[in-house]
């Protein structure tokens, strides 16, 4: 158990809908990252938050948005869902200041299926 | 060409064999991570290294910064080692953004 929790574990929805994925980082970790893992693209970095502020952005679509709240939990909002958004969405957290030297601890993931 | 390349893509082995998975990258990095993804989907961080060699149990990771290459070795492989092993690089010192390889699927048979 990494200490990172994600809810829900599974989500099935229809095209055009909007969903919210939730992540609680390990106690004390200030950085939260969101990743998408689809069958054809592998793992891709979406966005990073550090202590409530957006820190780095990757291949995140405009239909997707995220935020980190004062209690450090984070939410990833996906709207106008398309079939291609079906994927595993991982959240990870790491401590201290942003740095590539930080080990990242991954949550169990949310499996999103868009029908 | 991907910035992070792994080989082989698939690997099968008999229990007890020595396993090597390779990772080459084309970007400048400050750290390299090895991750393990189990069949159920969960991801575990195995190593993070920026130079030299690290060992944890039967797992050994090495990195050669000059050659932009890293290897993950598993000694005395066991069926429970069956998983996807993913190499990821951190390209910058001021962000934890990672660039991932496509993974190596390892199956160890008894």
> For the residues of A67-82, what is the DSSP string, one character each?
EE-TTS-EEEEE-S--
Indicate the burial class of B42 (C-beta count within 10 angstroms; 0-12, 13-18, 19 or more): middle
pLDDT at A55: 87
From the list A56, A55, A66, A71, the residue with the least C-alpha distance to A90 is: A66
- What's the count of helices (H) and strands (E) in chain A, helices before strands? 0, 11
Is residue A74 within 8 angstroms of chain B, CB to CB?
A: no
From chain B, pick out residues whose CB is under 8 angstroms from the CB of A94: 96
List of chain A residues with pLDDT < 70? 96-101
pLDDT at B2: 81
pLDDT at A96: 64
Contact B98/A103, CB-based, under 8 Å?
A: no
Least confidently predicted of A40-49, A53-62, B12-21, B94-103:
B94-103
pLDDT at A67: 97
CB B100 within 8 A of CB B88: yes
pLDDT at A99: 56
pLDDT at B76: 96
Contact B43/A90, CB-based, under 8 Å?
A: yes
Contact A2/B44, CB-based, under 8 Å?
A: yes
Residue carrying the six token digits 């400050």: B30
As a dihedral over the C-alpha atoms of residue A109, residue A112, residue B1, residue B3, rounded to 10 degrees, the angle is -30
pLDDT digits (tens, 9 = 90+) for A54-71: 988 988 999 999 999 999
Is residue A95 within 8 angstroms of chain B, CB to CB?
A: no
pLDDT digits (tens, 9 = 90+) for B29-80: 888 999 999 887 789 999 999 899 999 999 999 999 999 999 999 999 999 9
pLDDT at B95: 61
In this prediction, residue B27 has a pLDDT band, given cuts at 50, 70 and 90, of confident
């Amino acid at each position: 158990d990494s200490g990172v929790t994600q809810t829900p574990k599974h989500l099935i929805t229809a095209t055009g809908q909007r969903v919210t994925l939730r992540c609680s980082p390990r106690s004390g970790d200030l950085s939260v990252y969101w990743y998408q893992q689809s069958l054809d693209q592998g793992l891709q970095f979406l966005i990073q938050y550090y202590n409530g502020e957006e820190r780095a952005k990757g291949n995140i679509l405009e239909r997707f948005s995220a935020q980190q709240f004062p209690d450090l939990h984070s939410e990833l909002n996906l709207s106008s869902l398309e079939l291609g958004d079906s994927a595993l969405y991982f959240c990870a957290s790491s401590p201290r200041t942003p740095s590539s030297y930080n080990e990242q601890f991954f949550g169990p993931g949310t499996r999103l299926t868009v029908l | 060409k991907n910035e992070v390349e792994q080989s082989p893509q698939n690997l099968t082995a008999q229990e007890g064999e020595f396993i090597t998975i390779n990772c080459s990258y084309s970007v400048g990095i400050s750290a390299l991570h090895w991750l393990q993804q189990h069949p159920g989907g969960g991801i575990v961080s195995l190593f993070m290294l920026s130079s030299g060699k690290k060992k944890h149990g039967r797992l050994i990771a090495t990195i050669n910064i000059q050659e932009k290459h890293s290897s993950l070795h598993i000694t005395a492989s066991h069926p429970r080692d069956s998983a996807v092993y993913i190499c990821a690089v951190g390209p910058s010192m001021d962000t934890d953004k990672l660039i991932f390889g496509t993974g190596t699927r390892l199956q160890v048979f008894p």
